[in-house]
Structures are given as structure tokens and as C-alpha cells.
A and B are shown apart, each in its own frame.
Chain A
Amino acid sequence: MSSSSSFLTPAGIVSANPSDVRLARSETQFVSPGNQFYHPSACNTWQVFDGTTASPPKLAQYRSPANATRIATGRYSTTSVANLFPFYYAAVGISGNNTTGNNFVLRLISQAVSGFPQTFFNTVNIAGSLTNAPRLSLIIFGFE
């Protein structure tokens, strides 16, 4: 768990530290942009990546999630960085192909819920065959 010291504004109002933001109960502290992501209602990280290459590059991201790994055709995994998700978490994702209009399905395969959480997922085409998708989105909620 990371923490930072609170600072006092000229008005005497205290910035909520990460623990206070995570607890989401205080009515007398303010949430600073630097700590807002600690709130349970905020997503911890998200990314969009290109699954057609062996080392899928991120097309867009929030808070520098670890790069996804393509294990095999249409099979991917992501691993959180240390201390990012020490407890259970929720992950949602979707895939697609915005160049040909073909439908892809991003399927959750397994999800580790302790240690260094990993999410394994597959992309399959409408025939149910494993397929590398050019655009995959993953959003993760959890506690840091």
C-alpha cells in the first residue's frame, strides 16, 4: 500500500490521503486529482492493445498497465504489477475488428485472485475459432 502525506491548503482543508480515499467515508477532506484513482469507484487501470502481434503494443492506456502477452493464437494474458491488485478484482473486456467488421468475442478463461493477479483470455471469431484480434480493451477495478 502506498501512502503520501496530507498537505494543508491555505483554507485549512486537508487533502485526503490514499487510505482515506480508499475508505470513501470522509466528508471533511478533499480528493486531489493525484489520489482520486484510489477511490473504489474509480477504475485502477485500462488499456487497449493490438493482439495481432506477438508482443501486443498498447494503443491507449491509463496508469501504465503491464503489457499483455500473447501466449498463442488468440490467447492472451495480463499480469498486474507488484502491489497493484493485492486482493480480488473485477476485469471486463471486449474485442473487435474495426477494419473488416468481423465479429470477435473476448472470452475470459481464468482469473487469479491472489498474489500477482493474472487474467487470461481468448479471442475467437464468430465460428468459435481462436483468432488474433487487432483491438482488445480491458478495464480493471480493484484496490491498491
Chain B
Amino acid sequence: MSSVFKAPSSIDFATPEEMEQETLTTVYVNPKYQLRHPSSAKFWGFLQYFSPLIFTFNFYNASAFWSISLGVYSIPLTVVPDERMAVVMWARYGTDPATLCNSILREFTDPDPYILLKTFDAAFDPVECVGINFVGYGKIFGEV
């Protein structure tokens, strides 16, 4: 557990646990632990897949990603998330409006935390998507 900085007025900065509990009104929020508040996104990112180039950009809790198989993407997380996290994703398949791109998600936390994204077409066959946006909320364990 991290040490807590003591303000001159004896007012403390909220610990990670206090941020998650969100009950105190007599402590300060510092930039480092703002992430721990339930209203804070724990990770977000936008990845693009242009075979053979893989390029990604993301918020610091999500690192590189790779394509496991057709339409299946793995995104490792640098912090351990709780199993109960909400993840929203939005995938781009193509410009044909008649071709829908559906997507589902699975998430794993042990031993190495990562999320697994899958993208499907209108027939529910896996397709390679060229752009995927994702945002995740939930509780995390450990230091950031």
C-alpha cells in the first residue's frame, strides 16, 4: 500500500481504498489516485489493424494488443482488474452499411490480465475489423 502524503493542515489525501469507497468528504483527491474512483475509466484505447501492420494507441492501463485468430484480439492490461468490469467496445468493419459488425467480449484476469475482443459480421462469422474502440470501467487491484 502506498504511503499517504500529509498536508500541512492535517487534511489527508484519499487513499486508493477511500477513493473506491467514495464516502469521505474531508480528504483531497490527488491525480494519482483519481483513477481509483468508480467513475473513472480504468482503460481505454483505439486499435487499428492493417495487415501486416498492427498499430495501437491507448490509455496507460492497456498495453499492446495482438490478433490471436481471425476476428479475435487480445489486449493485455498492465493492472489487474476485478472480474466484474464493464467494457464497451465499438468496432469498424467496413463501409458497406448492409454489413453489420457485431462484437462480443470476454475478459480474463488470471494469471495475466487481459481482455479478449471478438468481432463478427451480420452472419455471426468472425471478421477482421480495421478499427476497434474500447473503454473499460471497474475495480482494480494493486498499484498503478
Determine the distance from Cα of A36 to Cα of B39 in the docked complex, in whole angstroms.
Answer: 12
Flag whether A30 is at the interface (Cβ < 8 A).
yes
Interface size on B, as a range, is: 35 or more
Contact between chains at B42 and A41 (CB < 8 Å): yes
Most chain A beta-carbon neighbours within 10 Å: one of B7, B34, B57? B34
Flag whether B85 is at the interface (Cβ < 8 A).
no
Binary contact track B58-85/A, C-beta < 8 Å → 1, others 0: 1110000000000000000000000000
**Closest-CB distance, B127 to chain A (whole angstroms):** 13
Flag whether A91 is at the interface (Cβ < 8 A).
yes
Binary contact track A108-144/B, C-beta < 8 Å → 1, others 0: 1111010000000010100011100000000101000
Contact between chains at A24 and B92 (CB < 8 Å): no
Determine the distance from Cα of A108 to Cα of B103 in the docked complex, in whole angstroms.
Answer: 12
Contact between chains at A107 and B59 (CB < 8 Å): no
Cross-interface CB contact of A28 among B30, B48, B90, B91, cutoff 8 Å: B30
**Complex contacts, A107 vs chain B, CB 8 Å:** 92-93, 97, 100-101
Determine the distance from Cα of A98 to Cα of B122 in the docked complex, in whole angstroms.
Answer: 23
Flag whether B2 is at the interface (Cβ < 8 A).
yes
Contact between chains at B30 and A111 (CB < 8 Å): no
**Closest-CB distance, A10 to chain B (whole angstroms):** 8
Binary contact track A68-95/B, C-beta < 8 Å → 1, others 0: 0000001000000000000111111100
Contact between chains at A87 and B57 (CB < 8 Å): yes
Most chain A beta-carbon neighbours within 10 Å: one of B7, B31, B131? B31
Flag whether A105 is at the interface (Cβ < 8 A).
yes
Contact between chains at B34 and A31 (CB < 8 Å): yes
Contact between chains at B97 and A124 (CB < 8 Å): yes
Interface size on A, as a range, is: 35 or more
Flag whether B49 is at the interface (Cβ < 8 A).
no
**Complex contacts, A28 vs chain B, CB 8 Å:** 5, 13, 30
Residues of B within 8 A of A (CB): 2, 4-5, 7-9, 11, 13, 28-35, 37, 40-42, 44-46, 48, 57-60, 88-93, 95, 97-101, 122, 131, 133-135
A12-B8, A30-B29 known, 19 other contacts, Cβ within 8 Å: A11-B8, A11-B9, A13-B9, A21-B34, A23-B31, A24-B34, A27-B4, A27-B5, A29-B30, A29-B31, A31-B31, A40-B35, A74-B97, A108-B92, A109-B92, A109-B95, A110-B92, A124-B97, A128-B122
Residues of A within 8 A of B (CB): 10-13, 16, 20-21, 23-31, 36, 39-43, 74, 87-93, 105-111, 113, 122, 124, 128-130, 139, 141
- Pick the 7 closest A-B CB pairs, nearest first: A11-B9, A41-B40, A88-B57, A30-B28, A108-B92, A128-B98, A141-B44
